[in-house]
Amino acid sequence: MVRSVAGWARRQPVAVDALLVAVLAVAVGPQLAFHVRTSDPQWPLYVLLSAGLLLPLIFRRTAPLTVFAVIVVVAGLQWVLGLPLAADVGVLIALYTVATRFALRTAVLAGGVVEIGALLAAGRWPHGLSAAEMAFVLTVFVLAAVMTGAYVRDRRRTIEALRAQAEHLRRERDQQARLAAAEERNRIAREMHDIIAHSLAIMITLADAAAGKVQTDPDRARGVLRQLAGTGRATLDEARQLVGVLRTDPLAPTTPPPSVRDLPELVERIRDAGLTASLTVTGDPEAVPAASGLAAYRIAQEALTNTVKHAVRPTRATLTVEISPTATLLTVRDDGRAAGRRSGPAGNGLVGHGLVGMRERAAMGHGTLVAGPDPTGGWTVRARLPHAPADAGRA
C-alpha cells in the first residue's frame, strides 16, 4: 500500500503538489477569512497575493526556477504594499525545491535573494520581536530550507548512483551467466565429441574385423562382435553419465571424470580394436589434479583414436606419461604413415575438429600441444599440462 502510493506520487508530481497547495490554502485560510469578516478594504489584495505565493507551487517540480522567480516577485510586491501574509511560507518551499534540483552554488544564490527579503520583512513586520530577533528567526528558516534541500539532492544522487551500480552489476551478472552457459555447452560438446568419436572409430574397426572373420573364423567373429557390443554399451554409459550431470543436483556426488589412472583401460580398448599399444607412466597418477588429468585422458583418447582412423598400416602406438610435481607430460606416437593429417611444422598440423579440440583442451589449462609427423614416418602428439596450484591442492 505505502509502496504503491509512493509510486503514484513519483509518477504524478503535479497532482501531489496540487494537494500540497490545497493544504497550505487551508492553513492560511483563517488569516484571509479574518480580513474578509472585518471588511478590510484590502482583503482582495490579501487573497490575490496569497494565491500568487501558493498557486505557482503546483509546478515547482516541473519548472523550479520559474516558480521561484514568480514567487519572489510576488513577495517583493507584498513588501511594497505592506501586507504581511502567512502564505510567505511559499517562498521557503520554492527555495527548498531549487536546492533539491540544482547545484549548491545555485541554491546559495537563491538563498541569498530570499535572505535579503527576510531581512527587509524582519525590519517591517517584527511580530512582537525586535528586528534583530525576527531577522535571526527568518535567517534560520532560510538556512534550513537551503541545507535540507541540498541534503535531499545529495541523497537522491546517491540512491540513483546505487541503482545504476546495481543495474550494472545485474547486467554484468547476466553476461557472466551467458558466458558460463556458452562455456559449459562447449565443454559438453568437446566431451561428447571425444566419447563418441573414439568409440565409433573402435566400433567401426571391430565391425570390419568381424565382417572379415564371419566366414573363415566364426568363433573369432563372435568374439569381436561381443567386443563391439561392449564398446557400444560403455559409450552409452559415458554419454548418459555426461548428460546426467545436467539433470542432477549440483551438490550431489557424481562419478569422478576420467583421469591418468584410467589410461590402462583406454589402452586396452585400443588393443581390442586390433592396434598394438603400450603405456608407460612415470610418477604418481593420484598426484595429477582433476582438470589436468581429464585433459590428459581426453588428449590421449583423441590421439589414439586418430591413429585408428587416419594412420595407414599402423603396427604400434606408444603412450608415455611423465608426472612431475608441476606438470604432466604426455606423448602419443604411432608408426603408421599419416593419411589426411597435413605435414608441416610441429604444432601447425592441427587439422580437423579432433586435433583442434586437443589443442583447445591443453590451452584451457595453460598448457601446450604440438602434433605432426616424426622423422620415422609416423605421427607424434606431445602435450604439456601444468598443474595449477589451486587444483594441485585439491588433488
Single out the residue in 153, 170, 187 at which a domain terminates.
170
Q: What is the CATH number of the domain that holds 386?
A: 3.30.565.10
Judge whether 242 and 188 are in contact, CB under 8 Å: yes
Residues 157, 276, single domain; the answer is no
Greatest CA separation for the chain: 132
| E strand residue ranges, the chain | 276-282, 311-312, 316-323, 327-334, 337-338, 368-373, 379-386
Residue scoring higher pLDDT (259 or 338): 259
Range of weakest confidence among 88-97, 108-117, 344-353: 344-353
Judge whether 54 and 25 are in contact, CB under 8 Å: yes
| pTM to 2 decimal places | 0.51
Residues 158, 265, single domain; the answer is no
Residues 151, 278, single domain; the answer is no
Residues 143, 41, single domain; the answer is yes
When pLDDT is cut at 50, 70 and 90, the band that residue 120 belongs to is very high
Single out the residue in 113, 138, 170 at which a domain terminates.
170
Note whether residue 273 is domain-resident. yes
Note whether residue 19 is domain-resident. yes
Residue scoring higher pLDDT (84 or 338): 84
CA distances from 139 to 113, 124, 142, 152, 237 (A): 12, 15, 5, 20, 84
Note whether residue 213 is domain-resident. no
Residues 377, 266, single domain; the answer is yes
CA distances from 326 to 82, 330, 384 (A): 93, 13, 10
3 state SS of 372: strand
Each residue's pLDDT tens digit, 275-327: 889 999 999 999 999 889 999 999 998 898 888 777 666 678 999 999 999 99
Note whether residue 61 is domain-resident. yes
Q: What is the mean pLDDT of the chain?
A: 83
Segment (H or E) for 109: helix 104-124
Residues 264, 162, single domain; the answer is no
Domain count along the chain: 2
Residues 291, 158, single domain; the answer is no
CB count in 10 Å sphere of residue 20: 15
Note whether residue 290 is domain-resident. yes
Beta strand pairing call for 379-386 and 327-334: antiparallel
Q: Containing domain of residue 75, as a range?
A: 2-170
Residues 133, 10, single domain; the answer is yes
Closest CA to 321 of 395, 268, 382: 382
Judge whether 46 and 84 are in contact, CB under 8 Å: no
Residues 151, 273, single domain; the answer is no
Single out the residue in 170, 196, 224 at which a domain terminates.
170
Residues 162, 18, single domain; the answer is yes
Residues 19, 144, single domain; the answer is yes
Residues 165, 286, single domain; the answer is no
Tell me, rounded to whole angstroms, the distance of Cα 306 from its chain centroid: 40
When pLDDT is cut at 50, 70 and 90, the band that residue 159 belongs to is very high
The one-letter amino acid code at 49 reads L
Note whether residue 306 is domain-resident. yes
Note whether residue 81 is domain-resident. yes
Note whether residue 233 is domain-resident. no
Residue scoring higher pLDDT (218 or 383): 383
